[in-house]
Amino acid sequence: MQQLLEAHGIPTRILDLGSTSYFGAGSPAALQVYAKDRWTALLLLSPIEEE
């Protein structure tokens, strides 16, 4: 997801959301974008609607 947004010129950063209750499952993370790029990022990452 980060590479897709970066390819479209939307800067991102990865946020660590803290520890998880599952052992060996890694740590949950989220992508953060600027507020001005929010809707563009959501449209790029949303599923394609088929008619």
Q: How far apart (Å, rounded) are the C-alpha atoms in residues 11 and 27? A: 22
Please tell me the pTM assigned to this model.
Answer: 0.68
Give the domain range for residue 18: 2-42
Residue 48 lies in a domain: no
Residue 8 lies in a domain: yes
pLDDT interval class at 48 (50, 70, 90): confident
Q: What confidence tens digit (pLDDT) does each residue in 3-31 have?
A: 989 999 999 999 888 776 666 667 778 88
Q: Measured between alpha carbons, how far is 50 from 38 in angstroms, rounded to an integer?
A: 23
**Alpha-carbon dihedral 44, 45, 49, 50, rounded to 10 degrees:** 100
pLDDT on residue 20: 63
Q: Rounded to an integer, what is the distance from CA 30 to the centroid of its chain?
A: 6
Asked, for residue 14, whether it belongs to a domain, the answer is yes
Residue 49 lies in a domain: no
